[in-house]
Amino acid sequence: MEYRIDQAKREAFLHAIAGLEQQRRRDGAYAWDLFEDAAVNGRYLETFKVASWLEHLRPHQRVTNADRAIGCAIKRAHSPAAIRSRRTGFGQSWLRGALWGPI
């Protein structure tokens, strides 16, 4: 996921994204990272890996109230038009939302 964060909301975003890391790992992610773009102020890229597409889908079916609170906190920190996701699997890439650009 790519996030565009207002500098005034940076600390709140970093706090919320730390909770999202714990959520992703709880739900089966075996790798998780957050990168801050040094060239573009306020641009962050979250990456995570799960063992299978089923592992990716499973958390969507069991969202807790705490999970929702983390998601809301992250959404408050960025522009909704800036959310971008990229899914890769089986040697192919799917794009959703705005076009993906290299960091």
Are the C-beta atoms of residues 3 and 82 closer than 8 Å to each other? yes
pLDDT on residue 12: 94
Question: What pLDDT shows up at residue 87?
Answer: 53
Q: In the prediction, which pLDDT does 16 show? A: 95
pLDDT for position 102? 42
The sheet with strand 92-97 has its strands ordered as 31-36, 43-49, 2-4, 84-89, 92-97
Q: What domains, with CATH codes, occur in the chain?
A: 2-97 (3.30.70)
What is the number of other CB atoms lying within 10 angstroms of the CB of residue 66?
11
Q: pLDDT under 50 in the chain at which residues?
A: 89-103
